[in-house]
Structure 1
Amino acid sequence: MFKQHYLITFLCILIWGCEHQPESWEGEILEQPRTKLLVSELLKGDAQELLDMSFFAQPSWASPAKESFSGTISLSEAVLNFPKAKEYYPGENLFPSFPIGFTSYQNKLIPLQQQKISTQTNSSSYWDVVVGTGKIWHEEGDGAWDRASFPLTLTDRWVGQARNCVATFVYQKDTISPVCVQCSQETADIDDQQLGNISGMIPATFLPQKNEDSVIIIENFQKRQASKIPILPLKKLDQSGRIASYFDTFRSTNTPTSLGAIYHDGRIYLHPPKTRHGNYPYPEEMRHGLYSVTKSMAGALALLYFAERYGEAIFDELITDYVPPLATKEEWKGVTFSHTLNMVTGTNAGEDAARLFETLIAPKTAEAAIAKIAELGDAPPLPGEKFHYASTNLFVLSYALQQYVSEKENSEESYWKLVEENVLKPMQAENFSVLHTIEEPGKTAIPILAYGALPNLDEAAKIALLFANEGRYKDRQLLNKDKVQQIFSKNEWPGYATSGDYRGSHYRHSFWSKKITSQKCAFDVTYMLGFGENYIVFLPNDVILFRFLDEHDLDIDELIQETAAVTNICK
């Protein structure tokens, strides 16, 4: 599968106008001249009404920017316009203060910091941020000013929701306007009344400076672009529009799906990424808070990588040997790393909101969370006997992995750094972000592993393809092959029956599975699943279905059946 993808990518580089993200995603076309976000309005810095996203995007009639852009923007803390049905969490209505450097290349606006930016040390805002690659351009009516916009994700430090925003400003060689920000889509907890549009005019200063590492930055950007999986509009595959119609079905809003896509024959077929104010202008940069998909996308990824690095015996290591606060707890005796990944620890854990908050969210630090988990007590089954889903199990695994890897490597550095360097970086996916504990300065933060993954589409697809290819990337075996095969039931290990759990019939190394019956055939599907519901579904014949949302649609059998029909799975 990956060989096919890289042949297609290579051909794309050779052929002008190759199959990749179209310039337009069928949203509103901005007319000339523009009527909103005028230069005078941006320079004045007054609050703006909520606008169609086309006003934040480069229009088809724009010309190249007159000036390149290189330097650091310092964004100031500012009050956001964020109507909510309930009281704000502390700092939730504040845009954070942070600096971000950029360099431009071929009218692309490339941020120097590609990974999540922590703002907690210099801001009282609730939000950290991820900045993506944007664009610079010139519009005839703007006089001496050029324009820029870039995608920006606001994400909290506790559960990893994603607010999909776009920022825009005008600039000259040594100055910029205030930055207008609008967020019109999200993957957040709709049960906590988290749906909402956010906007603000953010004060900003600009320090122009040529970056000494600009050549390296541009080279890395080119490598990432060349490695991306080709993207086509979904309608080229779904000509009847039945799959698109499913993605667009009204639930709580008329834009329930943040991302809908199908991987097939080496390409991604992407449904236009809709927000409540038009299509998102940077679909490849859009990030998604996937909640419990993290258990598979990060938890299984980490343990299966270390099973390849150190050997499969890591699955049988005892939790009590690496988590001292649990060593004296009767309920944790005999619990292995494998038991935690497979939700069969036999401990008195649960997934109710109150318990999740008390054990993982409120404590903040790793030690405080483990101390709370140590108070949960025992449950009737012995380890390995009965499936019982609990996010605390994955955090216990993360804590144990940190101690295990520290002993193996004789280093206190986070084990996730090894995953980034040896699994994600070879795939050009090292900017994939996971939520960590909140520690004092100098203390190693570790991944929660239970929730908090924040991928863009390319990162999510590459990680999914790594599992689909039995842990192999190009000529390198990155994940333990036998354990990946167990996930997809390619050997005699059946996994754990979930005893009628509504989410799936079996659970294997943090992946769910069930049988689907279409009009023409029956087949097993394996999938990652997160609250909301976020799905990555592995179908026969190397087809992968992506559907990210937060408006609750657990029953996707019909969507899977439609995908099977369009991609001829039954043949």
Structure 2
Amino acid sequence: MTVEELLVGKEQPFIDMSYFAKPEWAKNAKDSFSGTITLHITELNYPKEKEYYPGENIFPELHLDFVSHNGELIPLIKEKISTRNQLSSYWDVMVGTGKLWYEENDGEWSRASFPLTLTDRWIGTARNCVATFVYKPESISNVCLQCSQETADIDDKGIANINGILSANFQAKQFADSIQIIEQHNLSESRRLPMHPLSEIDLNNEVADYFEKMIFTNAPTSLGAFLMDSTLYLHPPKTRHGLYPYPSEMRHGLYSVTKSMAGALALMYFEERYEQDVFNELVSDYVPALADHVGWRDVTFSQTLNMVTGTDGGEDAARLLNTLIIAETAEEAINNIAKLGDLLESPGQKFHYATTNLFVLSYALQKYVEEKEGANVNYWDLVHEHVLVPIGAEYFTVLHTIEEDENEAIPILGYGALPTIDEAAKIALLFANEGRFQGIQILHKERVKEVFAETDWNGYHTNNDFRGSNYQHAFWSKEIKTEECKIRATYMLGFGENYVVFLPSKVIIFRFLDEHDLDIDKLIISVENLKSSCQQE
């Protein structure tokens, strides 16, 4: 992409992602960058097999504030940017830290690019994009956007390449808090887990070959890594057009991984915070819509998390869509759930997987916390302040209900997590360390130990469910025979299939995928060959 092409807004073909990255041979940018980029509403080039959802091919209008420091392009807002009031676009947006540089023959223009995630408001998919432009002190070119990877619903024809030339304006300005912004950015960067190439330890490419295997496209695995001895070993994340330039900033829509990464996290935090048996509180005491529902009469918070409510949650796609996904407000969703039926079994008797159970837990937690803290306290704000911020995952995002007052929105909890690999690893590490961080017990220790079968309680049998043999506090588990012994693998699992796998060796595996590959045994065995769990068994 030449300066001239970007200035006139020439449409680009889908190109290798390296064109959006700072080349190794590039020089420092001629000018620093500080100000607001306005990206205007644009119809995207979005070849798709089925009809667009309303606004799905429309990029929203955005006002993005950036400052630069040491060659980095730092957004002032790293949280999710809601665009729902615009009505025209399907997408909300998250922006990550990019780069500035200069290339020979670009004259007075410097170059910049930054990672950008498009995410919807109903399921929590993540489209991994990169935007690039050229700039001078007082002006910028059009912005070229390309999205060549995602975690999306392949069954809904969600795999798609997207690109476009976004009309842009720039207002140069100095921000009064720019020093604090840079300091906060540097602090966040310093708290990232060490990250090394997978090739440093996977010398025979055994793990890499698994992450490389093709399913439906040439890049089914958005990201593959494992955490060993507090170090992340990352396989270069591929897109359908080369390597993604900003692997640390890449966000992933993990669907039902949210049940454990956010649902179990929240409930175990409040059990520790209040030093009470929150797990065995009754749902009917906190959810008025379910108070007179026979099936929910004796259901506990714990039983919602463990999928043993004795109610028929309607996990089939049509009922889940009509009950929860297209419901906007919390009240609408909970009233829909109240209309679902019951099973023959009583609460606690039989595993019956239902995403709606996690929303019931979210609603009940909100009412429980209001009783403890006051009507204006949102339970997820407490989780953010007292769990996510301390561990360095302050920008970890989960999907919320859509309320007129966004402050009243609560997490869906059944799906919608959008972590980076660093955030996912820090949350996983908190569980692996029995809920402790830097000597402070954040999550309830005994409940965390129950996840990993380190107490007398072994969870619930799943009745030969194809996803795992046992389920405990929103984590799946099963036995796997390695070359040396049998081990118990415990894992978060989400549609697609997205995995976070805990091994007895204390290694944690991450595989973020949307092309359906439930068979993780070979992956686990290949990691076991690098560090065996057998001496721990």
Instruction: Decide which of 510, 521, 532 is 1:557's aligned counterpart.
Output: 521
Give the Cα separation in 1 of the matches to 2:415 and 2:118. 16
1:441 deviates by 3.0
Structure 2 residue aligned with 1:191: 155
Give the Cα separation in 2 of the matches to 1:87 and 1:534. 26
Structure 1 residue aligned with 2:380: 416
1:46 deviates by 2.1
Instruction: Decide which of 483, 490, 496 is 2:460's aligned counterpart.
Output: 496
Give the Cα separation in 2 of the matches to 1:281 and 1:82. 21
Give the Cα separation in 1 of the matches to 2:230 and 2:350. 39
Conserved? CA contact 1:97–1:123, under 8 Å: no
Conserved? CA contact 2:314–2:340, under 8 Å: no
* Alpha-carbon spacing, 1:514–1:442, altered in 2? closer, same or farther (3 Å): closer
1:329 deviates by 0.5
Give the Cα separation in 1 of the matches to 2:59 and 2:533. 47
Structure 1 residue aligned with 2:46: 82
Conserved? CA contact 2:369–2:377, under 8 Å: no
Structure 2 residue aligned with 1:254: 218
1:411 deviates by 3.2
Which amino acid in 2 is paired with 1:298?
A
1:442 deviates by 6.0
SS at match of 1:244: helix
1:225 deviates by 1.1
The answer to whether the aligner puts 1:47 opposite 2:47 as a matched pair is: no
Paired residues in the alignment total 535
The answer to whether the aligner puts 1:148 opposite 2:148 as a matched pair is: no
Question: Deviations 1:72-91 (Å, cap 9, x if unpaired)?
Answer: 11111100000000000000
Instruction: Decide which of 218, 223, 230 is 2:187's aligned counterpart.
Output: 223
1:123 deviates by 4.7
For 1:164-203, list aligned pairs within 5 A.
Answer: 164-203=128-167
The answer to whether the aligner puts 1:92 opposite 2:61 as a matched pair is: no
Question: Deviations 1:249-301 (Å, cap 9, x if unpaired)?
Answer: 11000111000001112211100100000000000000000000000000000
Give the Cα separation in 1 of the matches to 2:522 and 2:28. 45
The answer to whether the aligner puts 1:325 opposite 2:295 as a matched pair is: no
Conserved? CA contact 2:487–2:533, under 8 Å: no
Which amino acid in 1 is paired with 2:513?
L
SS at match of 1:142: coil
Which amino acid in 1 is paired with 2:60?
P
Instruction: Decide which of 344, 353, 365 is 2:308's aligned counterpart.
Output: 344
Give the Cα separation in 1 of the matches to 2:74 and 2:407. 31
Structure 2 residue aligned with 1:61: 25
Structure 1 residue aligned with 2:508: 544
Instruction: Decide which of 363, 373, 384 is 2:327's aligned counterpart.
Output: 363
Give the Cα separation in 1 of the matches to 2:296 and 2:231. 45
Conserved? CA contact 1:537–1:544, under 8 Å: yes
1:443 deviates by 5.9
Structure 1 residue aligned with 2:174: 210
Q: Which 5+ residue runs of structure 2 have no aligned equivalent?
A: none
Q: Which 5+ residue runs of structure 1 have no aligned equivalent?
A: 1-36
Give the Cα separation in 2 of the matches to 1:349 and 1:569. 37
Give the Cα separation in 1 of the matches to 2:378 and 2:55. 29
Instruction: Say which is worse superposed, 315-324 or 442-451, in terms of deviation.
Output: 442-451
The answer to whether the aligner puts 1:134 opposite 2:108 as a matched pair is: no
* Alpha-carbon spacing, 1:482–1:312, altered in 2? closer, same or farther (3 Å): farther
Give the Cα separation in 1 of the matches to 2:442 and 2:405. 32
SS at match of 1:50: coil
1:568 deviates by 3.0
The answer to whether the aligner puts 1:511 opposite 2:475 as a matched pair is: yes
Structure 1 residue aligned with 2:198: 234
Conserved? CA contact 1:98–1:122, under 8 Å: no
**What is the aligned-residue RMSD (CA, Å)?**
0.9
Structure 2 residue aligned with 1:23: none
Q: Point out 4+ residue stretches in structure 1 off by more than 6 angstroms.
A: none
Please report the TM-score for the alignment, with normalisation by the length of structure 2. Answer: 0.99
* Alpha-carbon spacing, 1:470–1:393, altered in 2? closer, same or farther (3 Å): same
Structure 1 residue aligned with 2:81: 117
1:569 deviates by 2.9
The answer to whether the aligner puts 1:460 opposite 2:429 as a matched pair is: no
Structure 2 residue aligned with 1:293: 257
Give the Cα separation in 2 of the matches to 1:102 and 1:215. 12
Question: Deviations 1:12-50 (Å, cap 9, x if unpaired)?
Answer: xxxxxxxxxxxxxxxxxxxxxxxxx11000000121111
Conserved? CA contact 1:437–1:448, under 8 Å: yes
Give the Cα separation in 2 of the matches to 1:368 and 1:266. 43
Instruction: Decide which of 215, 223, 231 is 1:267's aligned counterpart.
Output: 231
1:440 deviates by 1.1
Question: Deviations 1:219-272 (Å, cap 9, x if unpaired)?
Answer: 111111111111111111111011111111110001110000011122111001
* Alpha-carbon spacing, 1:363–1:165, altered in 2? closer, same or farther (3 Å): same
Question: Deviations 1:37-66 (Å, cap 9, x if unpaired)?
Answer: 110000001211111000000001111111
Instruction: Say which is worse superposed, 436-445 or 233-242, in terms of deviation.
Output: 436-445
Give the Cα separation in 1 of the matches to 2:102 and 2:278. 56
Give the Cα separation in 2 of the matches to 1:292 and 1:335. 21
Question: Deviations 1:67-108 (Å, cap 9, x if unpaired)?
Answer: 110111111110000000000000000011111100101010
SS at match of 1:229: coil
The answer to whether the aligner puts 1:535 opposite 2:499 as a matched pair is: yes
SS at match of 1:100: strand
Give the Cα separation in 2 of the matches to 1:566 and 1:344. 37
SS at match of 2:84: coil
1:135 deviates by 0.5
Structure 2 residue aligned with 1:525: 489
Question: Deviations 1:406-431 (Å, cap 9, x if unpaired)?
Answer: 11001323210100100000112110
Conserved? CA contact 1:96–1:123, under 8 Å: no
* Alpha-carbon spacing, 1:443–1:113, altered in 2? closer, same or farther (3 Å): closer
Identity, % of aligned positions: 61
Which amino acid in 2 is paired with 1:259?
L
Give the Cα separation in 2 of the matches to 1:191 and 1:442. 31
